[in-house]
Chain A
Amino acid sequence: QKEVEQDPGPLSVPEGAIVSLNCTYSNSAFQYFMWYRQYSRKGPELLMYTYSSGNKEDGRFTAQVDKSSKYISLFIRDSQPSDSATYLCAMRVGNNDMRFGAGTRLTVKP
């Protein structure tokens, strides 16, 4: 079993839809949870950063962490074609190296 599981998709939605992206993990020691967005031929860019359980909102993006279920989510409201990218979840224990999910490829169709 991988430490971080993420459905690779691909996921295709119409413009304006609400998108839900998810990851599960097995290591209960993970404390810091992140979502990265990666456009084609580019490096991943940090989108959201949360510590421990709870919700965090930034514009159209909401990150949720449920440590009891070892489950994290990223919601994108009013999705736009410019949101089309691969979304990677990532998590770490304290100072240790970050573990990434495989990434979910999202396409938002106009």
Chain B
Amino acid sequence: DSGVTQTPKHLITATGQRVTLRCSPRSGDLSVYWYQQSLDQGLQFLIQYYNGEERAKGNILERFSAQQFPDLHSELNLSSLELGDSALYFCASSPRTGTDGYTFGSGTRLTVV
């Protein structure tokens, strides 16, 4: 157990729907990162939050949004889902927004049908 908790582990939903993925970072970690992993794209950075504030944005679609709450857990919202959004979504955390390595959760496998 890495200490980073992601729920749910699996999600199957239809095109056009909206889902929310949840992440609880490792105790004491202030930074949360969201990544998308698909077979042909590898790990793609989506967005980072640090202590409740958005810190960096990667290749995140406008249909996707995220937030980090005062208790430091984070949610990734995916809307108007398309078949191509099917992927593994990973959350990672680190103590600061500095130069530490990340601790990853086990991921949420999203299947859009």
Seen from chain A, the residues whose Cβ lies within 8 Å of a Cβ on chain B are 31-32, 34, 36, 41-46, 49, 51, 88, 92, 94-103
Instruction: Please determine whether A97 and B106 come into contact, CB atoms closer than 8 angstroms.
Output: no
The secondary structure that dominates the A interface is loop
Minimum Cβ distance to chain B for residue A2 (Å): 9
Residues in A with CB closer than 8 Å to B35 are 100
Query: In B34-61, which residues have CB < 8 Å from any A CB?
Result: 35, 42-43, 45, 48, 56, 58
Seen from chain B, the residues whose Cβ lies within 8 Å of a Cβ on chain A are 2, 4, 33, 35, 42-43, 45, 48, 56, 58, 90, 92, 97-99, 101-107
In the complex, A43 Cα to B36 Cα: how many Å?
Answer: 11
Instruction: Please determine whether B48 and A43 come into contact, CB atoms closer than 8 angstroms.
Output: no
Instruction: Please determine whether A97 and B104 come into contact, CB atoms closer than 8 angstroms.
Output: no
Instruction: Please determine whether A43 and B106 come into contact, CB atoms closer than 8 angstroms.
Output: yes
Minimum Cβ distance to chain A for residue B51 (Å): 14
Instruction: Please determine whether B45 and A97 come into contact, CB atoms closer than 8 angstroms.
Output: yes
